[in-house]
A and B are shown apart, each in its own frame.
Chain A
Amino acid sequence: AQRVTQPEKLLSVFKGAPVELKCNYSYSGSPELFWYVQYSRQRLQLLLRHISRESIKGFTADLNKGETSFHLKKPFAQEEDSAMYYCALISGGYNKLIFGAGTRLAVHP
């Protein structure tokens, strides 16, 4: 079954500390993976996609097919990074997204 697992409900760090939000997936075939973010009082929005291999707001994520992981990393967390983060993968041929349960990142001053 296709599944996305985010093992941490809450990740709490201090400003300037490194951040790693974990995401593991199960998918038969070549997955397309994404990170979505929801800041307080804002809409859910796309943060980055693995196929672009880009860095957005200092965040990067590398697809590791051997470990079936797509962890989101940032070397130095900022208070404005505090948000809910969802890992997701595309299922099938119709742009259907399967989401993980989400991890709340809290960055303290």
Chain B
Amino acid sequence: DGGITQSPKYLFRKEGQNVTLSCEQNLNHDAMYWYRQDPGQGLRLIYYSQIVNDFQKGDIAEGYSVSREKKESFPLTVTSAQKNPTAFYLCASSGTRGPNSYNEQFFGPGTRLTVL
């Protein structure tokens, strides 16, 4: 079940530490996304990237950072500035949307981060 992978599946971190979540895709997709999933709140967009070396903040970017140095990879760093980092994190990728089309987003299996 390849396509888009996330690692690790479970991650534990002490308060005050930064941690990086991995997201890799072999679908040749230009666009990649990071979402946070909390019970009762659905998915909220953290960051997205339409193309290599470019990314934009989503709705809840504070306390997070990303990079997009390679098309296949879009790692997310949860910094110590993120006040409530314990959550389930989902990565997704899609082709670049044309003016009159929607490109389906394909999701990874997720990483569950717990701050101790």
Contacts and interface: CB of A to CB of B under 8 A. Distances in A.
A96 B50 CA distance: 10
Contact of A45 (B41, B96, B107): B107
Nearest to A103: B42
Interface stretch (A14-22, A59-67, A86-94): A86-94
A49 B107 contact: no
Nearest to B108: A43
B58 interface: yes
Given A32-B102, A43-B107, A43-B108, A95 B31 contact: yes
A95 B105 CA distance: 8
Given A45-B107, A46-B104, A97 B42 contact: no
Interface-central residue, B33, B43, B50, B103, by most chain A CB under 10 Å: B43
Contacts of B76: none
B102 to A, nearest CB: 6
B44 A99 contact: yes
Interface-central residue, B40, B44, B99, B102, by most chain A CB under 10 Å: B102
A101 interface: yes
B102 A51 contact: yes
Interface of A: 4, 6, 9, 32, 34, 43-46, 49, 51, 86, 90, 93-102
Interface of B: 31, 33, 35, 40-45, 48, 50, 56, 58, 90, 94, 96-97, 99, 102-110
